[in-house]
Amino acid sequence: MKYLFPRIANHAFMILFSFIMLYPVFWWIGASLKTVPEMSLPTIWPSEPMWSNYTEGWQFSRKYTFAHFFKNNLIMEFFNVIGGIICSSLVAFGFARVKFKFQNILFGILLLTMMLPMQVTIVPQYILYNTFGFVDSYVPLILPHFIGGSAFFIFLVVQFIRGIPRDLDEAAKIDGASIFGIYYRVILPLIKPALVTVAIFTFIWSWDDFFAQVLYLSSVDNFTVGLALRMFIDQFDIQWGQLLAMSLLSIVPSTIIFFLAQKHFVEGIATTGLKG
């Protein structure tokens, strides 16, 4: 009984803190239904919901609705996630389970690339893609996920594989499994949790990777959701209601994935990432 008060105080504090953290999001939801004058109020729910913010915002221009931009983005994400999973599992298996020459040096280089500011490579990369005529296509956005992707993901999966007993590999070897068989039949099924983490992060990070989108996509037909939002702001008279409504919709895919895989997401790094 004597611990009751601290416990209530504890919860009260956590609820208050969560509320403060989430308040901008709550306000955002309300504001997407507000008129512009009402937006300057900190109240959450509007006096009279303006659903037209959504219908008019969705009807982006005469030629495009937001459905088009969402479709573009989702197709791109589909390939990115596939690429991220294939690439990080193959490469991580190679580093964690196969012995080859210069392995340690190469792994060191891989870790080093995590610390490299992307600005150093961006200009020549742009020139490279430009030379091959890939600017204003999804190639520069998708291709990197198939060749290398993020060093961070590879590192994550390597750490995860290192936690799997090598006895399993040995047993499979005795049963006559090839090295690819060990990867495909033994390790791949076991690293699913890590690959889920990779898939989620790949989706959310490349959805948000505005810099690459700004750089490589130029025609409205190819625009992603982020770029479409950006066009709203460029207008002289920003339609804030519509802009906030569409911005809110733009975070829906990431939010759904976050809640579906919430456990993986928050614990993914916690259980796999940083034992090294």
Partner 1 sequence: MAELTTSKPSSRGFFRRKKKSDENNLAGYLFISPWLIGFLLLTLWPITQSFYLSLTDYPLIADPNWVGTENYKRIFTSDDTFIKSLKVTFTFVFIAVPLKLAFSLGVAMLLNRSMRGLNAYRTMIYFPSIIGTSVAVSVLWRNMFGVDGYINGVLSWFGVQGMGWISHPDTALGTLILLDTWQFGSTMVIFLAGLKQIPQEMYEAASVDGAGKIRKFFSITIPMLSPVMFFNLVLQTIQSFQMFTAVFVITQGGPVNSTYVYAYFLYEKAFRHFQMGYASALAWILLVIVAILTAINFLASRYWVFYESGGRK
Q: Quick one: tokens of 242?
A: 């519509």
Long-range contacts, 122-127 (Cβ 8 Å, 24+)? 122/215, 126/215, 126/216
Q: Which is nearer to partner 1, 72 or 144 (CB)?
A: 144
Rounded to a whole number of angstroms, the minimum distance from the CB of residue 51 to partner 1 is 19
Q: Choose, by CB under 8 A, the member of 2, 4, 7, 237 that binds partner 1.
A: 7
Rounded CA-CA distance 68/181 in Å is: 41
* Burial (CB count within 10 angstroms: exposed 0-12, middle 13-18, buried 19+), residue 9: exposed
Return the range that interacts with partner 1 (CB under 8 A); candidates 47-55, 64-72, 190-198, 241-249. Answer: 241-249
Contact string (CB under 8 A) for partner 1, positions 199-238, x = contact: -----xx-xx-xx--xx----------xx-xx-xx-----
Candidates 5, 48, 104, 119; binder of partner 1 (CB under 8 A) is 119
Site map 70..99 versus partner 1, x via CB under 8 A: ----------------xx--xx-xxx--xx
* 28 contributes a contact to partner 1 by CB under 8 A: yes
**Contact between residue 39 and residue 240 where contact means Cβ atoms under 8 Å apart:** yes
Question: Could you report how far apart the first and last alpha carbons of the chain are, in Å?
Answer: 43
Q: Does 116 bind partner 1 (CB under 8 A)?
A: yes
Please identify, using beta-carbon distances, which residue of 65 and 169 lies nearer to partner 1: 169
CB of 221 to partner 1, least distance (A): 19
Closest by CA position to 193, among listed 95, 263, 275, 274: 263
Q: Could you say whether residue 155 binds partner 1 (CB under 8 A)? A: no
Q: Out of 64, 134, 146, 193, which residue is the one contacting partner 1 (CB under 8 A)?
A: 146
**Residue 84: which of 2, 154, 184 has the closest Cα?**
154
Name the phi and psi angles at 11, rounded to 5: -65, -40
